[in-house]
Amino acid sequence: MNKRLNPYIPFFITAAIFSIIACQGAPMEPATRQGRISPSILHSPIYLDGNSAIDAFCAGNGTTGSVSNPHVLQNFEITTGGTAISLYNINKYVIIRNCNLTNPGTGIYLENCRNINVSHCFISGSGAYGIMYSQSLNSTIHGNVIDKKLNTGIYLNIASHFILITNNNITRCGDKGIMVLSSNNCMIQENIVASNGGSGDLTGIFVRTSTNTSIESNDIYNNNAYGIRLDQSNNNTITNNLLQNNTLFGISLLNSNYNTFVGNDMISNDNWDENTNYWDNGTRGNFWWDYYATRTAAGHDGAVWNESITVNGGGQDHHALVYPKHPFSYNLPLLIDGNTRMYFFPFKTGNGTLGSPYIIKNLEITVKTPTGNCMYLRLIDKYVIIRNCTLSGAIGDCGIELDACTNVQITNCTMFHNYCGIYIQQSDYNTVSENIVYDSLYYGIWSNGIYNQIINNTCYDITEACVLLYARNNLVENNILRDGGVGVRVDATATSTTVRHNLIENMNHSSGRGVWLLTSGNSVYFNDIIGSVIYNGYDSVGGNTWTNGTHGNYWSDYEGRYPAATELAGYYWSIPYELTPGGVFDQYPLTSRVNAPSNPFWFAIYSKLRTDVGESIWSISQMVFTCGHTNSTGAGSFDLLLV
């Protein structure tokens, strides 16, 4: 059986050879990585029409314009309101490289040319087009930076066939990043096309009335309407691209048929297809960022989901991929409902046992809806660890909510700008440790489950309670709680709770209380309770112990309240500290602090180490900090701190 020759093969073999020659003597890293180049030759606009013109321009350079010895235009710096470099009617081999073109009407314009390689140029400023080919063939556009205020970055205009566009960085163009109009057999590969669109079509890559275009392995994101748009274009292939945060659609098809989409990551944008196209190749489709959240009964084989997904307009991906090729962040609530859904959740390792727990790690979830938790686990009794996740934006709900879950560890996560950082609802035997929770609109950590441990967390800038408990037998230990309404509030039936070894400081919002007990049977000791604007300690009902039998707590207002007290046994004051509203005492109020110091220097170092190292630093040894910093009162300074 005869096979049709791939139309790309003859051209791209030649292009590969030509590109190797083009890179000789040029920077090997594309402009997308090396940043702005610095050409050395100031030059007026260049206009060359015909082979004889390019031969004359390059006379004396020792080049002939052959594939093995191409003419080279390089290192020109041109500032103009017109076209910087114009070539017409040339079929010699030519390389244009390392040119800096500023504020051109068009940076580089080719008409009726072939065999032209444009590489490692920097084109920026107001104008119509960065690089424009019209009726030009067999050429390569490689490693250029095209940025800011141009109408279109790269434009292949009518009958510009067999063009390779690769490794370019095209950003902030006013209309389109790349435009292919009535040009066939072109390849667009490994480009960054981002933040384009101020008016007009507002598209990253726009293909109109063209066929056999390959769009492969590009990063296409943050464009103002469309990532990829096909209009009246058939038989094109779009594979392995990242399409993320494009405002209207990641991919939009209008009057376009028989196009194939495989291996693309569709993240945080919708898509549109009302025509006849192929969203899988029979075994593999694409990754859809919202698949797990919207297909609550689907399962997978480790690579492909077992339910189809429908593209807006009617297209079908029958083999949606479980995993993306690119790292990404969610911006919608994530629900894992039950053990079965946890089993099929793709971004985890382990098998849910004590020896091999499920581990969900390194997710970044920013909710952009008025309601919904960043992460919501419900009815799960498998062993689960949630680690190193960043969760924000749930202004109507929580960073993480556990609902009727056991054996879950939440560790080394960061939660900010949520209604509540961590919410534990009717969930027992869980551990919350080493997390940073801040800028909560209401609570830092809330729990009405039993036998939960809240240890080694940092909570600050919390409107109400940093830690609020509504159930018994919980442990709150070794936390830093600062700048909230209440440090620790033990409410309702939360008996047999232990609060120890915490730094509770500057409770200056709303209630202004360090530790507030509204039930009996709890123990509070070895805490530093400092600077609450109303009460450092408040015991509403009595029946609690504020010592462990020999040691109580450090109270920042003690000496002001009891100026006649003396030190006993080298560690506690002679007069018991009376809790508000009265009749309850800390019998062994401590004369010195027992936990981490509170000055801004320590807190910055503490938070930084917890974020970067991800481990508790209550025991630090052999560390030296060299500083020039006043202490928290502004009095004195130190140059060397040994811990």
**248, part of any domain:** no
Tell whether the model's pLDDT for residue 10 goes beyond 60. Answer: no
Higher pLDDT among residues 640 and 540, named by residue: 540
Tell whether the model's pLDDT for residue 448 goes beyond 80. Answer: yes
| Mean pLDDT, range 309-337, rounded to an integer | 87
Predicted pLDDT of residue 464: 96
Rounded to two decimals, the pTM is 0.71
**274, part of any domain:** no
Predicted pLDDT of residue 388: 96
| Mean pLDDT, range 148-164, rounded to an integer | 94
Q: pLDDT band for position 18 (50/70/90)?
A: low
Distance CA 630, CA 636 (A): 6
- Give residues with Cβ within 8 angstroms of 336, minimum separation 6: 342, 345, 375, 376, 377, 378, 380
Exposure on the CB side of residue 328, measured as CA atoms within 13 A: 23
By DSSP bridging, strand 265-267 and strand 431-433 are unpaired
Domain that holds residue 30: 1-173
Tell whether the model's pLDDT for residue 524 goes beyond 70. Answer: yes
Predicted pLDDT of residue 148: 83
Higher pLDDT among residues 575 and 245, named by residue: 575
Predicted pLDDT of residue 417: 96
| Mean pLDDT, range 271-297, rounded to an integer | 93
Predicted pLDDT of residue 94: 98
Predicted pLDDT of residue 227: 97
Tell whether the model's pLDDT for residue 609 goes beyond 80. Answer: no
**25, part of any domain:** yes
| Mean pLDDT, range 451-476, rounded to an integer | 97
Tell whether the model's pLDDT for residue 15 goes beyond 70. Answer: no
Predicted pLDDT of residue 367: 85
pLDDT digits over 266-276, tens only? 988 999 999 99
**556, part of any domain:** no
Which segments of 137-235 does DSSP mark as H helices, in order?
Answer: none
Percent of the chain with pLDDT over 70: 85
Last residue of a domain, one of 141, 173, 205: 173
Quote the number of domains for the chain: 2
**193, part of any domain:** no
Tell whether the model's pLDDT for residue 411 goes beyond 60. Answer: yes
Last residue of a domain, one of 173, 188, 220: 173
Residue 452's φ and ψ, nearest 5 degrees, are -100, 150
Strands (E), 268-397: 270-273, 287-288, 309-310, 316-317, 329-330, 334-337, 358-361, 364-366, 375-378, 384-387, 390-392
Last residue of a domain, one of 133, 151, 173: 173
**234, part of any domain:** no
Predicted pLDDT of residue 626: 37
Question: Edge-to-edge strand order for the sheet containing 414-416?
Answer: 329-330, 364-366, 390-392, 414-416, 436-440, 458-462, 480-482, 503-505, 528-530, 554-555
